[in-house]
Amino acid sequence: MKKVKDSIITMTELVLPHHTNQLGNLLGGQLMHWIDICAALASSKHAQRICVTASVDRINFLHPIKLGDVVTIKASVNRVFNTSMEVGVKVVAENHTKGIQRHTNSAYLTFVGLDNNEKPVKAPEIIPESDDEKRRFDDALTRREKRLQLRDK
C-alpha to C-alpha distance for 36 and 40, rounded to whole angstroms = 6
Query: How many CB atoms within 10 Å of residue 92?
Result: 17
First-last CA distance in the chain: 33
pLDDT tens sequence across 91-113:
999 999 999 999 999 999 999 99
Mean local confidence (pLDDT), 59-72: 94
C-alpha to C-alpha distance for 133 and 150, rounded to whole angstroms = 26
Mean local confidence (pLDDT), 124-142: 96
How much is the pLDDT for 149?
Answer: 84
| pLDDT confidence band for 141 (50 / 70 / 90) | very high
C-alpha to C-alpha distance for 88 and 69, rounded to whole angstroms = 22
pTM score, two decimals? 0.94
User: Residue ranges per domain, the chain?
Assistant: 2-151
How much is the pLDDT for 13?
Answer: 98
pLDDT tens sequence across 32-59:
999 999 999 999 999 999 999 999 987 8
- The answer regarding whether domain 2-151 maps to CATH 3.10.129.10 reads yes
